[in-house]
Amino acid sequence: MFSYDWTVQYYETDQMAIVHHSNYIRWFESARTAYLSEMGIPYDKMEAAGIISPVLTVNCQYRQMTRYGETVTITPVLSSYNGVKYVVTYEIRNKETGVLNATGETSHCFLSKDGKIVSLKKALPETHAVLQGLVKKEE
């Protein structure tokens, strides 16, 4: 299982030294792009092929405050994929204690640069196969 570590930066916190809620969404993106890159699907490769992957939805459930200086481990999992859309779920845990700080989910689709829906099965069959394999492994 892939995981991504992040040490909370001062600029990510509010006056109470607690991570501002918007940063969790940024961490989801960082973990997701690192995960896909590690699996052989870097965003720059997709974009060079003329395919973009916008966020359709995002949600985050905040469980425990995260504070300046703590290191968290973000675990993204490809929970569904149908050739056109995919969903990634996330867990953010304190690396030292294992406490669950947040969970979340993002959904995405594949589009051409002019905004038309793209089927990866047709456009990038190798990438399609990798994504299918990831869902099967992690179910």
Q: Could you report the average pLDDT of every consecutive run of 10 residues in the chain (139 residues)?
A: 96 93 97 96 93 97 96 98 97 98 98 96 94 79
Q: What is the pLDDT of residue 138?
A: 59
pLDDT of 43: 92
**Running DSSP on this structure, what letter comes out for residue 96?**
T
14 is catalytic: yes
H, E, C per residue of 14-38: CCCCEECCHHHHHHHHHHHHHHHHH
Enumerate domains of the chain plus CATH numbers. 4-138 (3.10.129.10)
Choose the catalytic residue: 5, 14, 44, 114.
Answer: 14
